[in-house]
């Protein structure tokens, strides 16, 4: 959220100032990106007016100045509050926009002020309030677009205080282990020249014979990522449906590919899994489809705003849902409907996406959202929900209350005959797993008219393969679904 400081002769532009604020609060684009500061609407907390407006102008991202016919009160230093505010802002920030009202007569100091601001600032003229807000909106759209262009290049920015010595051998090796089989870099991985390969990958550049990582390269390959930029992933398993009681947590600050590995371990540890028997096949099923959740997590890594140094990626598991939150709203002018339809997908971090795309973790650039939706539907679960906060993007995957759901076209199918099971064992397993019942040796003998040694042999193999769980209840051996 960008802070906008409105500066003008308050008496002359009293109505215009309030109009601007109301328009910012009502307009979807403006309120999504900007928050207006008006001196007259803010409590001073005992501070002098000068102290208040100087503090606020220093904290602002954008300065909007209005100039009309009356320069305003001239202070002891020969300047009006408006010009003082401008000088304070302009000393450290170039993002000033002026809007000059068309009037029949303007005082000499206003004319001088206009001549002063013209060389260094964007300015336009207006007649009506609607003209004014239209001009402001045009300026701020360009401001956002320019900022996004700068941000698009952020992950390509060279880190001049980095070198090949900062590269982590494990992260470097993991990248080559995860390369797609058809990627051209698989043929180069045995070359004993890290700097050359990392430059080819797009992770940095060799400048005057010295290799330097870029931001993307540091995120993938640096031994200490936080030496160069703030990076953290918080994973928490909560008990229940609120954030009151955390039962497992992991704060990860390492490389992105290692982060995906840690995510997979944390996800499997903190969600349920199992299987059902369908004819001759064992079908492994989970509480959530790993492909959908992993895609959501990778999306967060790929598209978060890494310039937000105080923020982190959040991966939260509750009893009824999973939430993934990453810093940074969608790139303007993208909407949630756009990304759900795979329309106009833009990448905040092109270099990060390029490196990820070389690995098995990213199948298709720009298809992640539709893949999440498809995998959840195949699992019999609701589509993921997408939402934006003040400066964040969240994906929520609703579960089935801890239960596991049957997949359509599940890929995790094992032919039970490949495990060496006989027909009796397949029938027993189907009964136990699909009907959630327990069976004893006596049940086996009655069902198949067999001897006790045969029943013991059949169950022993099922237990050894971890297909059933053996327990003793009331001094009697019984077999039931295994715990996962």
Q: Concatenate the DSSP letters of all residues of 170-238 into one string.
A: HHHHHHHHTB-TT-GGGGTTT-S-HHHHHHHHTSEEEETTEEEEBHHHHHHHBSSGGGTS---EEEEEE
Q: What pLDDT sits at residue 469?
A: 86
Q: What pLDDT sits at residue 276?
A: 60
Q: What pLDDT sits at residue 482?
A: 78
Among residues 210, 197, 204, the alpha carbon closest in space to that of 228 is found at: 204
Among residues 269, 295, 300, 480, the alpha carbon closest in space to that of 376 is found at: 295
d(CA 455, CA 462): 11
185 versus 106: the higher-pLDDT residue is: 106
Give the end of a domain, one of 93, 122, 151. 151
What single-letter DSSP state applies at residue 330? P
**Strand 392-398 with 385-388, pairing:** antiparallel
Token pair listed for 464:
């050894």
Q: How many domains does the chain contain in total?
A: 3
Q: What is the mean pLDDT of residues 186-208?
A: 86
Contact 97, 64 (CB under 8 A): yes
- The string of DSSP letters for 130-184 reads HHHHHHHHHHHHHHHHHHHHHHHTGGG-B-TT--GGGB-HHHHHHHHHTB-TT-G
d(CA 413, CA 406): 12
Report the run of H or E that residue 420 belongs to, with start and end: none
Minimum mean pLDDT among 36-50, 138-152, 196-210, 265-279: which range? 36-50
Token pair listed for 64:
């909007």
Q: What pLDDT sits at residue 257?
A: 96
Does the predicted model carry a pTM greater than 0.85? no
Please tell me whether residues 139 and 174 are part of one structural domain: no
Q: Identify whether 446 is part of a domain.
A: yes
Q: Identify whether 103 is part of a domain.
A: yes
The dihedral built from the CA positions of residue 450, 452, 458 and 462, taken in this order, carries a sign that is: positive
Q: What pLDDT sits at residue 225?
A: 93
Please tell me whether residues 205 and 331 are part of one structural domain: yes
Token pair listed for 401:
């209350």
- The yes-or-no verdict on residue 46 having pLDDT over 60 is no
Report the run of H or E that residue 397 belongs to, with start and end: strand 392-398
> What SS3 state is found at 33?
helix
The dihedral built from the CA positions of residue 25, 306, 362 and 413, taken in this order, carries a sign that is: negative
- The yes-or-no verdict on residue 191 having pLDDT over 50 is yes
Range of the domain at 227: 153-270+288-402
Token pair listed for 98:
């002026």
Give all strands of the β-sheet with 476-480 in edge-to-edge order: 439-440, 476-480, 469-473
Q: Identify whether 426 is part of a domain.
A: yes
Among residues 356, 300, 298, 292, the alpha carbon closest in space to that of 327 is found at: 300
338 versus 234: the higher-pLDDT residue is: 234
Query: What is the maximum alpha-carbon separation in the chain?
Result: 112
Minimum mean pLDDT among 157-161, 314-318, 392-396: which range? 157-161
Range among 16-20, 89-93, 279-283 rated most confident: 16-20
Q: What pLDDT sits at residue 98?
A: 95
Q: What is the mean pLDDT of residues 4-30?
A: 90
Please tell me whether residues 80 and 93 are part of one structural domain: yes
Q: What pLDDT sits at residue 368?
A: 77
Among residues 62, 52, 50, 58, the alpha carbon closest in space to that of 3 is found at: 62
Q: What pLDDT sits at residue 403?
A: 55
What band does 67 get if pLDDT is binned at 50, 70 and 90?
Answer: very high
> What SS3 state is found at 468?
coil
Q: What is the mean pLDDT of residues 283-310?
A: 83
CATH number for the domain spanning 366: value is: 3.30.565.60
Minimum mean pLDDT among 137-141, 279-283, 294-298, 376-380: which range? 279-283
Among residues 251, 290, 235, the alpha carbon closest in space to that of 410 is found at: 290
Q: Identify whether 166 is part of a domain.
A: yes
Query: From residue 140, how far is each of 74, 95, 390 by CA, in Å?
Result: 30, 10, 17
Token pair listed for 197:
């390969």
Contact 380, 388 (CB under 8 A): no
Please tell me whether residues 171 and 134 are part of one structural domain: no
Q: Identify whether 409 is part of a domain.
A: no
Please tell me whether residues 132 and 163 are part of one structural domain: no
CATH number for the domain spanning 8: value is: 3.40.50.450
Minimum mean pLDDT among 270-274, 296-300, 444-448: which range? 270-274
Q: Identify whether 276 is part of a domain.
A: no
Q: Identify whether 408 is part of a domain.
A: no
**Strand 321-327 with 313-317, pairing:** antiparallel
The fraction of the chain above a pLDDT of 70, given in percent, is: 85
Report the run of H or E that residue 15 belongs to, with start and end: helix 14-26
Q: Identify whether 281 is part of a domain.
A: no
Give the end of a domain, one of 116, 151, 186. 151
Please tell me whether residues 298 and 252 are part of one structural domain: yes
Minimum mean pLDDT among 40-49, 76-85, 261-270, 349-358: which range? 40-49
d(CA 362, CA 111): 58
Give the end of a domain, one of 372, 402, 432. 402
Please tell me whether residues 114 and 186 are part of one structural domain: no
d(CA 420, CA 391): 55
**Strand 122-126 with 281-286, pairing:** unpaired
Q: What pLDDT sits at residue 365?
A: 63
- The yes-or-no verdict on residue 45 having pLDDT over 50 is no
Q: What pLDDT sits at residue 366?
A: 61
Computed over every residue of the chain, the mean pLDDT equals 84
The fraction of the chain above a pLDDT of 90, given in percent, is: 41
């Amino acid at each position: 959220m960008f802070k906008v400081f409105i500066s003008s002769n308050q008496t002359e532009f009293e109505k215009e100032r309030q109009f601007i604020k109301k328009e910012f609060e009502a307009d979807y684009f403006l309120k999504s990106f900007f928050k207006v500061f008006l001196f007259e609407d803010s409590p001073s907390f005992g501070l002098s007016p000068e102290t208040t407006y100087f503090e606020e102008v220093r904290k602002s991202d954008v300065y909007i100045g209005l100039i009309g016919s009356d320069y305003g009160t001239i202070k002891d230093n020969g300047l009006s509050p408006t010009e003082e505010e401008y000088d304070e802002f302009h000393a450290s920030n170039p993002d000033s926009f002026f809007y000059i009202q068309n009037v029949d007569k303007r005082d000499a100091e206003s004319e001088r002020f206009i001549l002063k601001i013209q060389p260094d600032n964007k300015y336009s003229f207006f007649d009506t309030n609607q003209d004014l807000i239209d001009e402001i909106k045009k300026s701020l759209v360009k401001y956002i677009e320019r900022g996004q262009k700068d941000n698009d290049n952020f992950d390509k920015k060279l880190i001049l205080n980095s070198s090949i010595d900062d590269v982590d051998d494990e992260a470097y090796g993991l990248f080559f282990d995860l390369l797609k089989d058809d990627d051209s870099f698989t043929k180069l991985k045995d070359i004993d020249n890290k700097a050359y390969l990392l430059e080819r990958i797009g992770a940095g550049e060799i400048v005057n014979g010295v290799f330097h990582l870029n931001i993307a390269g540091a995120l993938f390959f640096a031994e200490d990522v936080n030496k160069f930029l703030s990076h953290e992933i918080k994973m928490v398993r909560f008990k229940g449906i609120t954030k009151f009681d955390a039962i497992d947590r992991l704060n990860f600050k390492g490389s992105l590919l290692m982060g995906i590995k840690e995510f997979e371990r944390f996800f499997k540890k903190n969600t349920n899994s199992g299987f059902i028997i369908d004819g001759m096949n064992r079908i492994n099923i989970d509480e959530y489809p790993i492909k959908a959740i992993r895609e959501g997590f990778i999306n967060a890594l790929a598209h978060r705003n890494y310039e937000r140094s105080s923020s982190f990626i959040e991966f939260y598991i509750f009893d009824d849902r999973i939430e993934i939150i990453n810093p940074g709203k969608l790139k303007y002018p993208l909407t949630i409907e756009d990304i759900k339809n795979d329309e106009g997908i833009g990448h905040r971090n092109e270099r990060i996406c390029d490196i990820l795309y070389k690995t098995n973790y990213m199948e298709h650039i720009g298809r992640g959202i539709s893949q999440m939706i498809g995998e959840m539907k195949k699992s019999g679960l609701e589509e993921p929900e997408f939402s934006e906060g003040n400066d964040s993007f969240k994906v929520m995957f609703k579960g089935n209350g801890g239960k596991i759901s049957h997949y359509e076209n599940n890929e995790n199918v094992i032919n039970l005959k490949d495990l060496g099971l006989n027909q009796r064992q397949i029938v027993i397993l189907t009964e136990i797993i699909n009907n959630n019942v327990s069976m004893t040796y006596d049940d086996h003998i009655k069902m198949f008219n067999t001897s006790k040694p045969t029943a013991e042999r059949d169950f022993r193999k099922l237990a050894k393969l971890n297909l059933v769980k053996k327990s003793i209840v009331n001094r009697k051996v019984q077999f039931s679904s295994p715990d996962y």
